[in-house]
Structure 1
Amino acid sequence: MWIVASDFDRTLSHESDKFVIRKDIAEKINSFSKIYKFFVVTGREERYMKLLAPGLSPTGWILENGSLIVVNSKKIINAPKNWFTIRQSISRKLKELGIPHSFGEVIIYVDSWSEEISFESARVERNRRDAMILPPNVEKGSGLRIALKELNVEGKVVAVGDAENDVSLFRVADYKVAVENALPEIKSLADFVLDKEDGDGVVELLDLILSGRFPEGVNIH
């Protein structure tokens, strides 16, 4: 069983499309998901994914950087029970420091934040220019593990990404794949680097899997 776990922004969707997934890419993923498993693993909130990915029906969604899992219409919160109390105290500290932020269902988002800061009861995950504040030990990789356990699915995991917060996803993968537009440090960690950017790169990967040419058919970086 092949299990593909793909980031969304700059991996499935392109910035020039305002991160709305193209119809042909969504259709390819939907078709693939009828044969194998495909998970969208993103830092984004569920409400935004409904706007950015209309018509996309993967096997499951790992949202908010692994802190919110949606499979079979079931939502799973990947956070300790005291997290929301901790989250409020972190928010107060951010306000005192004058750092604008917003809440997802679970995590805290800080846009265009380059400052260094740490919290005793939380971790900060970078994603290019932005940051996400999460419960300890919560990341894309842990979210994927929960989704697979919930569905009782086993197989070869292929993780696809482009930026720093995809590193934890790489850790749980049998094959680490970077799209062509990935950051250099992500390409250096990948087993394979695709020829194409964004969603076109993911379609390239799915075609290789479906044709039986993966992993031999992928360009090794």
Structure 2
Amino acid sequence: MVRPLAVDVDGTLTRPKPDRGVDPRVFEALRAYSEEAPVVVATGKAFPYPVALCEFVGLPIRVVAENGGVVCIEQGDGDDPYGGGRFGDGVVYNGDREAADAVARAYEAEGHALGWGAVDLVNRWRETEIAVARDQPLAPLERVAAAHGQEVVDTGYAYHVKSPDVDKDIGLETAADRLGYGPGDFLAVGDSENDAEMFGVAGESWAVANADDAALSAADFVTDAAYADGFLEALERATE
């Protein structure tokens, strides 16, 4: 039986840095996989980004966004993209945007910035956390976050300020339940410390070769190839 798939985006479906683009070769791979088992896009990006990815690739909208803070799972085959009731319980919010905003205000009051410029598209549609550019000072961000009961996770693309009890493992558990699976039924592929918790609850986990130490340590297997090449390798080896 082909396992349902939970897959990260940045660093996993993308080309090598500094290119942030999704490698177009993964589109058909994801579509083909979705014909055998559900595909859940699990990312640290703001909620609209994985929804748009699913829409344009042609996948049912099954997403874990904002490091588990937001979950939205389309049930059924998704043939009617605007059919009523297809999302069951609707959008599930696990995170706390108000607490994250308090961290942002305190961080900025100390003279720091979120680092995205005047038009902050990174956080504009974010609903349960905030993201800070990695060229901003980390130590004061971690201190302010801790004072507000939040934590900072470095995804390799941004510092994410989020609730400490919310990770991709919580998101995967929510998604799996709505699809009629357990998290242990899933194959998970990722590259970062925000994937490590998801690896811990998935039945089989693969880190692509460019993964950070946390993901490499948590994964069951590591690919020889990096970035999207590693993802494609993981799919091939996991379904042999």
TM-score (norm 1): 0.82
**For residues 31-85 of structure 1, what are the alpha-carbon distances to aligned partners after superposition, in whole Å with 9 as ceiling and x for unaligned?**
1011112211111113344666732526611111110112115422113xxx344
Cα distance in 2 between the residues matched to 1:120 and 1:181: 32
Q: 2:103 & 2:217 partners in 1: Cα distance?
A: 34
In structure 2, distance between residues paired with 1:42 and 1:127: 10
CA–CA separation in structure 2 for the residues paired with 1:58 and 1:169:
21
Query: Is contact 1:6–1:160 with CA below 8 Å preserved after alignment?
Result: yes
Q: Contact conserved, 2:51 with 2:61, CA < 8 A, in 1?
A: no
* Whole-Å separation in 1 of the counterparts to 2:70 and 2:97: 14
**Identity percentage over the alignment?**
27
1:204 equivalent in alignment to 2:206 = no
1:140 to 158, 168, 173: 168
Determine the C-alpha separation between the residues in 2 that align with 1:48 and 1:176. Answer: 23
More off after superposition, 26-35 vs 107-116 = 107-116
Q: Which residue of 1 aligns with 2:57?
A: 55
| 2:119 pairs with 1:90 | no
In terms of fraction of residues, the more strand-rich structure is 1
| 2:55 paired with 1:27 | no
Deviation at 1:18, TM superposition (A): 3.2
Query: In the alignment, which residue of structure 1 is the partner of 2:37?
Result: 36
Task: Give the alignment partner of residue 91 of structure 2, picking from 51, 64, 75.
Answer: 75
Matched, 1:179 2:208: yes
Letter in 1 for 2:191: D
Q: Which residue of the partner structure matches residue 156 of structure 2? A: 128
Contact 2:101/2:129, CA 8 A, preserved across alignment: no
TM-score when normalising by structure 2: 0.76
Unaligned stretches of 5+ in structure 2? 75-86, 115-119
Count of aligned pairs: 208
